[in-house]
């Protein structure tokens, strides 16, 4: 049996696809990422218990049983196990005048474990933080990296992790890294031109060096996970997050699962040409890529030329509107194809808020069918510069505990 399968697609791939797509839970559940096989019922049930407590907050064992559909005996058993591991704590008795024995409330002990989050997406600094299980940042370290490329940049990541490890005060659940570029599911950075990384097995290398679980993913993918877990996302699990920085990229969450694409490049919209009227020369050699209209350094330079006058009708305002319009052209087809309900922009508010986002909204509205896509929400993220750090924590929580 095993022999005859040699050289063919292993069956696990298909099973994990089903487990992601057909899981019956609803709400803000992040589908476990290929780790849970159907026979791993206990692991799945553990994740359900943790998920309901992460999402709803403190509850009694009976509430958890109702919320998960598990029996009280199963819940009680799992709670005992999770308390022994330190993940859950009893927080006291429920206040109230109901007759009978008052219920004891349980909650996630958010201080029981810590996570190291790393953000490599900024060209000037590598950011790092120690976070708790609730995604709150407890300590920060940043390392100036201007000019660090290749092995030197990898060494800088290790130095940053070393200094964060010294600040960790609880058992470490793992290390999450948001990297620019194309990153596969095994955490290999296939290509990150700015860091001159090609085929760098960052996840495996860091995991071996530090002896703890490490998850490496694309920075926009980390960001969309943060928005889903900690932002104002509607919770439907269909969400696109567009990051505007030195480049333009996006992360897509569909049905609560990250979309990777056939070459792990889903969401790489920065080098899609928007319009048929040419445009400026892009770093990739093409004219009129979305980045040439929207990337922060390009916009800043154009606004500087226009003497920063961004009042309505002024030259600066026209530049911002045009950038927003080009983003709207790029997004309209995606919204139409995927029937998205929510698109979130993350980047410098000074550029994105106001005329730019209004023009994007207006362009999408004019280019999609009102009856189908009129309900689209387009807004700015409120997570600011910490979005990738917090997303890196979600990646670790998701991979270790099966929850978002
Ligand atoms: Zn380009």
Task: Give distance in angstroms: CA of 225 to centre of ligand 1.
Answer: 26
Indicate the DSSP class of residue 31: P
The Cα diameter of the chain in Å comes to 74
- Per-residue tens of pLDDT for the chain, all 404 residues: 333 333 333 333 222 222 222 233 333 444 444 455 545 788 899 999 999 999 888 999 999 999 999 999 999 999 999 999 999 999 998 876 567 778 899 999 999 999 999 999 988 899 999 999 999 999 999 999 877 889 999 999 999 999 999 999 999 999 999 999 999 999 999 999 889 999 999 999 999 999 999 999 999 999 999 999 998 877 678 999 999 998 999 999 998 899 999 999 999 999 999 989 999 999 889 999 999 999 999 999 999 876 666 677 778 899 999 999 999 999 999 999 999 999 999 999 999 999 999 999 999 999 998 888 888 999 999 999 999 999 999 999 999 998 87
Task: Give distance in angstroms: CA of 60 to centre of ligand 1.
Answer: 54
What 3 state SS string does 298-367 have? HHHHHHHHCCCCCCCCCHHHHHHHHHHHHHHHHHHHHHHHHCCCEEEEECCHHHHCCHHHHHHHHHHHHH
Task: Give distance in angstroms: CA of 282 to centre of ligand 1.
Answer: 5
Spatial separation of the C-alpha atoms in residues 195 and 179, rounded to whole Å:
10
pLDDT of residue 309: 66
DSSP 57-86: -SEEHHHHHHHHT--HHHHHHHHHHHHHTT
Spatial separation of the C-alpha atoms in residues 188 and 182, rounded to whole Å:
8
Nearby residues of 11 by Cβ (< 8 Å), 6 or more positions away? 5
pLDDT of residue 23: 30
Structure tokens belonging to residue 372: 């189908």
Spatial separation of the C-alpha atoms in residues 404 and 80, rounded to whole Å:
22
**Nearest Cα to Cα of residue 380 among 344, 342, 351:** 344
**Nearest Cα to Cα of residue 397 among 161, 131, 106, 173:** 173
Indicate the DSSP class of residue 291: H
pLDDT of residue 98: 67
Task: Give distance in angstroms: CA of 356 to centre of ligand 1.
Answer: 21
Task: Give distance in angstroms: CA of 88 to centre of ligand 1.
Answer: 48
Task: Give distance in angstroms: CA of 336 to centre of ligand 1.
Answer: 23
Task: Give distance in angstroms: CA of 290 to centre of ligand 1.
Answer: 7
Spatial separation of the C-alpha atoms in residues 253 and 217, rounded to whole Å:
14
**Nearest Cα to Cα of residue 169 among 216, 116, 90:** 116
Spatial separation of the C-alpha atoms in residues 335 and 252, rounded to whole Å:
11
Task: Give distance in angstroms: CA of 279 to centre of ligand 1.
Answer: 11
> In a 3-state reduction of DSSP, which class is residue 11?
helix
Task: Give distance in angstroms: CA of 284 to centre of ligand 1.
Answer: 4
Phi, psi of 163, rounded to the nearest 5 degrees: -70, -30
Tallying the residues shown for the chain, one arrives at: 404
DSSP 172-234: EEEEEEEESSEE-TT--EEEEGGGTEEEE-HHHHHHHHHSS-EEEEEHHHHHHHHHHHHS---
> In a 3-state reduction of DSSP, which class is residue 102?
coil
pLDDT of residue 310: 65
pLDDT of residue 228: 92
- Cβ atoms of 132 and 138 closer than 8 Å: yes
In angstroms, the first-to-last Cα distance of the chain is 37
pLDDT of residue 78: 95
Rg of the Cα atoms in the chain:
23
Task: Give distance in angstroms: CA of 136 to centre of ligand 1.
Answer: 36
Q: Which residues of 125-146 are buried (b: 16+ CB within 10 A; e: fewer)?
A: bbbbbbbbbebeeebebeeebe
Task: Give distance in angstroms: CA of 313 to centre of ligand 1.
Answer: 29
């Amino acid at each position: 049996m095993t022999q005859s399968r040699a050289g063919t697609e292993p069956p696990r791939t298909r099973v994990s696809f089903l487990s992601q797509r057909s899981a019956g839970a609803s709400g803000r559940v992040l589908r476990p990422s290929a780790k849970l096989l159907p026979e791993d019922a206990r692991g799945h049930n553990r994740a359900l218990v943790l998920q309901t407590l992460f999402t709803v907050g403190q509850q009694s064992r009976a509430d958890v049983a109702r919320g998960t559909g598990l029996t009280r005996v199963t819940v009680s058993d799992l709670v005992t196990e999770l308390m022994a591991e330190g993940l859950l704590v009893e927080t006291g008795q429920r206040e109230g005048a109901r007759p009978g024995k008052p219920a004891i409330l349980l909650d996630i002990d958010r201080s029981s474990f810590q996570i190291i989050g790393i953000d490599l997406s900024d060209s000037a600094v590598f950011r790092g933080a120690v976070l708790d299980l609730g995604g709150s940042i407890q300590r920060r370290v940043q390392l100036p990296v201007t000019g660090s490329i290749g092995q030197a940049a990898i060494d800088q990541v290790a130095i940053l992790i070393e200094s964060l490890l010294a600040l960790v005060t609880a058992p470490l659940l793992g290390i999450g890294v948001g990297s620019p570029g194309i990153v596969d599911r095994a955490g290999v950075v296939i290509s990150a031109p700015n860091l001159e990384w090609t085929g760098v097995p960052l996840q495996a290398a860091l995991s071996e060096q530090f002896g703890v679980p490490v998850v490496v993913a694309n920075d926009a993918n980390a960001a969309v996970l943060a928005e889903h877990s900690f932002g104002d996302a509607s919770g439907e699990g269909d969400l696109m997050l567009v990051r505007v920085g030195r480049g333009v990229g996006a992360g897509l969450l569909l049905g609560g699962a990250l979309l990777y694409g056939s070459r792990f490049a889903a969401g790489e919209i920065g080098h899609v040409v928007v319009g048929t009227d040419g445009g400026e020369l892009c770093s990739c050699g093409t004219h009129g890529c979305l980045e040439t209209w929207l990337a922060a350094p390009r916009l800043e330079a154009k606004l500087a030329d226009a003497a920063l006058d961004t009042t309505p009708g002024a030259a600066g305002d026209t530049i911002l509107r045009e950038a927003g319009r080009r983003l709207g052209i790029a997004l309209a087809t995606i919204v139409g194809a995927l029937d998205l309900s929510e698109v979130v922009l993350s980047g410098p508010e000074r550029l994105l808020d106001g005329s730019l986002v209004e023009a994007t909204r207006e362009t999408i509205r004019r280019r999609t069918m009102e009856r189908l896509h009129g309900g689209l929400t387009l807004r700015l993220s409120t997570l600011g510069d910490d979005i990738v750090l917090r997303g890196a924590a979600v990646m670790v929580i998701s991979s270790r505990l099966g929850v978002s």
